[in-house]
């Protein structure tokens, strides 16, 4: 199944996608859009263009497991996205994905403007990889 993942942000939103066999997650783009209705339209168009069958939106849960304003905004965005494109939308706890993305970019020595442009797409890849791992582990249960 082709799955699109979204690292929703106030200014930049990272997008990643996996192949139909759910083996490889790859970055697609970072959308620079602050106005949520426009962002919903852009992500919906990308999902349609890439023939996504499912969309996963990262849920920014606090370290103690509670949900704050960012999580509420992500849930609202996910609902709006589902309404706009009629593709199933799931959410996944994204705690520590931005930190992991920065560690990856450190390891690859990515710096400056290129780093800022890539961190959200890398975070979307990590969200998708975690989602795929969760799907694979639940298949055997």
Per-residue pLDDT at 22: 94
Determine the Cα–Cα distance for residues 33 and 13; give it in Å rounded to an integer: 8
Position 100 pLDDT exceeds 80: no
pLDDT band at 98 (very low <50, low <70, confident <90, very high): low
Reported as a pLDDT band with limits 50, 70 and 90, residue 64 is: confident
Q: What is the CATH number of the domain that holds 36?
A: 3.30.420.140
Look at residues 45, 9, 46 and name the one whose alpha carbon lies nearest to residue 127.
9
Q: What is the pLDDT of residue 45?
A: 97
Mean pLDDT of all residues in 29-53: 97
| Domain around 121 | 3-139
**C-alpha separations of 134 from 51, 64, 110 in Å:** 22, 21, 29
The total domain count for the chain is 1
Instruction: Give the per-residue pLDDT at 137.
Output: 87
pLDDT digits (tens, 9 = 90+) for 105-140: 666 666 666 656 677 888 899 999 999 999 988 865
Query: Residue 73's pLDDT band (boundaries 50, 70, 90)?
Result: very high
Query: Average model confidence (pLDDT) for the chain?
Result: 88
């Amino acid at each position: 199944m082709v799955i699109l993942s979204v690292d929703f942000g106030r200014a930049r939103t990272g997008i990643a996608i996996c192949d139909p066999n759910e083996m490889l997650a790859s970055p697609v783009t970072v959308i620079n859009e602050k106005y949520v209705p426009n962002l919903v339209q852009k992500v919906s168009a990308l999902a349609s263009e890439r023939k996504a069958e499912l969309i996963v939106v990262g849920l920014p849960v606090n370290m103690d497991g509670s949900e704050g304003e960012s999580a509420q905004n992500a849930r609202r965005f996910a609902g709006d996205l589902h309404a706009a494109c009629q593709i199933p939308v799931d959410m996944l706890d994204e705690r520590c994905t931005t930190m992991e993305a920065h560690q990856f970019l450190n390891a690859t020595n990515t710096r400056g403007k290129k780093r800022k442009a890539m961190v959200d797409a890398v975070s979307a890849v990590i969200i998708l990889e975690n989602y795929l791992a969760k799907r694979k582990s639940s298949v055997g249960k």
